[in-house]
Chain A
């Protein structure tokens, strides 16, 4: 999974405004993607009402039961309802997607802005650091970080966020460089406005578009990364339901209870497709190709 697949850079993107939003609504992939994501958001928010069983309630008599009317997706190795666990697992995956990316943006965007705006030594230092982080393959870095911090959902999100940060530094920096050549920046400077005011007031809004595109695409990667970390035993650990750790356990029972492995995987795919479609749609809307 490539974290390097950055959005088409500089020059083509414009500020995200009302006309862009309307174009977004007309892009079929954006709409479909957003619908899928919305579906999962609803699942996550209303899990307690939607799920037929408690996700952690074991049933010693119904261990590894095949899908049936009572348990649509079957039960797992402790007799817990797989459907309910998949529904509750949405919370962890969505949280991972949103929080990790937020961390990455909150760290990367300011750094990229500052690097592009001031240039010189500051730019060199920040760029070198970002390059060094980018030199480590994304998953390797996330694994190392998550393992250092200790296995938990929060730490996994931090790890993924930090690993994804350098891409946002790059994107923000590249866009800032372009924006800084615009007239209105020079005008603001001649007006005597402070740098911080210019950066937040003039540069930032115009840099957001590619960052948003990248953020949406990165959410898909973040969901996959969280599942991967959980699968390796570095994310949310059982008994809390998490699609990745459910798959790790399911591996031991492939012959006896294949349904344990199928549904969490399908859920991951669906959510990731949703984010990917959204990302493509947002990209097409904000960077119209003639």
Chain B
């Protein structure tokens, strides 16, 4: 009798253990819109890549939901009085997924890798970093060629992601096939254009905050299908819900909608100085561009194309930014004034070719703009094209007007410098204003927030008058998740951070 009892107890315990382990083997299935490119922080250029990196690769610092810089792999930092160097105190007992230690030498290795790798995409973000000094195992100093306030914001993104020096050296160009970082999850497998599987890294410095044992990112490009799969329970979470599907989410009792303001901006860029295509009335005449702005009603664009769920705006940086200028409000639509301005330029109908990527959102926006601007006297010819061609022509300045989508950064500098400084990397329409250049350069070195804000106010004044780009709206982020997923926090960059995300009942 006793032996049977023991046997039964043993079986019960095994069964319980099995059940318990099953319950703990929780997998978070996430639906993403795009397939990431190379999973190497030095090479990656896609937003989807950043999404996966949020779980795979920790960075020196991170940004909080209110856009403040917070510690991640670096615990604390201090700027030198002349703002030309910054010293980081690194977190202790941090290891990479392959077990090697994270230390100052690793930081130095990573920065140099990103600066010297031939096809690294991080060179511009780290250009002011002249050298990196290892002061101690947990202390590292960045020496800058000039004061560069946005450095921390850049280090909160791919430029600050730390990969294992050993893995990078061993694998060389194949690193992207099996990335080794220091994030909460480590790489398991990747099926191109299908899924990316990560599993919990037991040695993570914040392992206690990690609730799921496994995260799988499924590539589902169609937002309707993505949502359908979350509703059906095939996925636990999906990013970028289409604004027109939000009602469905809100009506479903099993789903929770997580929304947040984003850093991204969509804008209408005019070719004002790049080659032959700059020779258009709108390209040459700032008054006509202002007239175009007055012909638009950004709220209608938002309402019709995005069910009113995005944020219509007239500035390149979002209102959530400290440096947003609340004194420059969106001008209301004024067709009569637009017509008058066109007449004052000596014209009645103004032709323009509008190029854009043939995506659902841009397509709708373009058609709405064509219709509205048409009422004021602008003959907009629509030139949709597939994404790769559109981007390539955009980068070559081969357009008259183009709808650009910029994913935005935590600091205004990367955005404004890229688009409006004479040598900016995104300044493909060749807008150049020396005064604006001077202001932006000064702002980038200005550590005092109030003074910096004043500088950016002046900059906004200039670019909103020149209107080489007309900002249109900021997309908001919408995640849909099953109610069983808890702890989701929305951050303006739209990336899902896994710390604190746990299954709930």
| A interface with B by C-beta (< 8 Å) | 56, 58, 60, 63, 77-79, 147, 150-151, 233-234, 237-239, 249, 251-256
Interface-located stretch among B253-261, B382-390, B450-458, B471-479: B382-390
Contact of A58 among B224, B360, B367, B385 (CB under 8 A): B367
Contact B304 A60 (CB under 8 A): yes
Q: Which residues of B contact A63 (CB under 8 A)?
A: 304
Give chain B residues whose Cβ lies under 8 Å from the Cβ of A56.
367
**A253:B368 contact, CB within 8 angstroms:** no
Q: Counting CB contacts under 8 A, is B371 at the interface?
A: yes
B360→A239 contact, CB < 8 A:
no
Query: Does B116 lie at the interface of the complex (its beta carbon under 8 Å from any beta carbon of A)?
Result: no
Residue B244 CB within 8 A of the other chain: yes
Is B386 touching A77 in the complex (CB atoms < 8 A)? no
Contacts of B223 in A (CB 8 A): 252
- B224 near A252: Cβ-Cβ < 8 Å: yes
Q: Shortest distance in angstroms between A256's beta carbon and chain B's nearest beta carbon?
A: 7
User: Cβ of A249: which chain B residues have Cβ within 8 Å of it?
Assistant: 360, 363
B304 touches A239 (CB 8 A): no
Closest to B370 in A: A239
A-B contact pairs, 21 of them (CB 8 A): A58-B304, A58-B368, A58-B371, A60-B300, A60-B304, A60-B368, A63-B304, A150-B386, A151-B386, A233-B358, A233-B386, A234-B386, A238-B367, A238-B384, A239-B367, A239-B370, A249-B360, A251-B222, A253-B244, A254-B224, A256-B244
Contact residues of B between 370 and 422, Cβ < 8 Å to A = 370-371, 382, 384-386, 389
Would you give the 0/1 interface string for B139-183, flagging 1 where the beta carbon is closer than 8 Å to chain A? Answer: 000000000000000000000000000000000000000000000
A253 to B307, CA, bound (A): 13
Q: Which residue of A lies closest to B360 (CB)?
A: A252
Question: Which residues of the other chain, B, contact A252 by a CB distance below 8 angstroms?
Answer: 222-224, 242, 244, 360
Besides A58-B368, A60-B300, A151-B386, 15 other A-B contacts (C-beta < 8 A): A58-B371, A60-B303, A60-B304, A78-B304, A150-B386, A150-B389, A151-B385, A234-B386, A238-B384, A249-B360, A251-B224, A252-B360, A253-B224, A253-B244, A255-B245
Interface centre among B222, B245, B360 (most CB of A within 10 A): B360
Closest chain-B Cβ to A98's Cβ sits at a distance in Å of 25
Q: How large is the interface on B (under 10, 10 to 19, 20 to 34, 35 or more residues)?
A: 20 to 34
State whether B385 touches A237 (Cβ < 8 A): yes
Q: Does B364 contact A (CB under 8 A)?
A: yes
Give Cα A254 to B244, complex, Å. Answer: 11
**Cβ of B131 under 8 Å from chain A:** no
Residues of A within 8 A of B300 (CB): 60
Which A residues are CB-close (under 8 A) to B363? 238-239, 249
How many Å from the CB of A150 to the closest CB on chain B? Answer: 7
Least CB distance, A45 to chain B, in whole angstroms: 25
Q: Does chain A have a CB within 8 A of B248? A: yes
Complex Cα–Cα for A289 and B364 (A)? 54
Majority SS at the chain A contact face: loop
- Quick check: A237 and B358 within 8 Å, CB to CB? yes
Residues of B participating in the A interface, judged by any CB pair closer than 8 Å? 222-224, 242, 244-245, 248, 300, 303-304, 358, 360, 363-364, 367-368, 370-371, 382, 384-386, 389
> What residue in chain A is nearest B359 (Cβ atoms)?
A233
**A238 and B244 contact, CB distance less than 8 A:** no
Tell me whether B367 and A151 are in contact (CB under 8 A). Answer: no
Q: Cβ of A78 and Cβ of B368 under 8 Å apart?
A: yes
Which residues of the partner chain A approach B244 to less than 8 Å between Cβ atoms? 77, 252-253, 256
Assembly CA distance A77 to B305 (angstroms): 8
For the complex, what is the distance from the CA of A27 to the CA of B368, rounded to whole Å? 50
Enumerate chain B residues within 8 angstroms of A237, measured Cβ to Cβ: 358, 384-385
How far apart are A239's CB and chain B's nearest CB, in angstroms? 5
Contacting residues, chain A, for B242 (C-beta < 8 A): 252
Question: Measured between alpha carbons, how far is A148 from B81 in the docked complex, in Å?
Answer: 56
**For A234, what are the chain B residues with a Cβ–Cβ distance below 8 Å?**
386
A17 shortest CB reach to chain B, Å? 48
Residues of A within 8 A of B224 (CB): 251-255
Q: How far is the CA of A58 from the CA of B371 in the complex (A)?
A: 8
Distance of A187 Cα from B449 Cα, bound (Å): 98
CB distance from B472 to the nearest CB of A (A): 16
Closest chain-A Cβ to B78's Cβ sits at a distance in Å of 50
Chain A: minimal CB distance from B373 (Å): 13
What is the bound-complex CA distance between A255 and B242, given in angstroms? 13
- In the assembled complex, the Cα of A27 lies from the Cα of B73 at a distance in Å of 80
A147–B385 alpha-carbon span in the complex (Å): 11
B309 shortest CB reach to chain A, Å = 14
Chain A residues whose CB sits within 8 angstroms of the CB of B370 once the complex forms: 239
Q: Which of B242, B245, B364, B389 has the most CB of A within 10 A?
A: B364
Interface centre among B223, B358, B389 (most CB of A within 10 A): B358
Closest-CB distance, B224 to chain A (whole angstroms) = 6
Closest A residue to B384 using CB positions: A237
Provide the bound-state CA to CA distance between A272 and B223, in Å. 31
Q: A151 contacts B364, CB within 8 Å?
A: no
What are the residues of chain A within 8 A of B248 when measuring CB–CB? 255
In the bound complex, how far is the Cα of B300 from the Cα of A79, in angstroms? Answer: 13
Q: State the 4 A-B residue pairs at the shortest beta-carbon distance, nearest first.
A: A237-B384, A239-B367, A58-B371, A60-B304
Once bound together, how far apart are the Cα atoms of A165 and B104, in whole Å?
65
Distance (whole angstroms) from the CB of A165 to the closest CB of chain B: 25
Shortest Cβ gap from B90 to chain A (Å): 47
Q: Is the pair A78, B367 in contact by a Cβ cutoff of 8 Å? A: yes
In the bound assembly, the distance between CA atoms of A78 and B303 in angstroms comes to 11
CB distance from A75 to the nearest CB of B (A): 12
Task: Kindly report which residue of chain A lies nearest to residue B227, judged by CB atoms.
Answer: A255
Shortest distance between the CB of A246 and any CB in chain B (Å): 12
User: CA–CA, A253 to B248, complex, Å?
Assistant: 12
Cβ–Cβ < 8 Å partners of B382 in chain A:
239
With A and B bound together, what is the CA distance between A58 and B366 in angstroms? 12
Q: Are A238 and B358 in contact (CB under 8 A)?
A: yes
Contacts of B368 in A (CB 8 A): 58, 60, 78
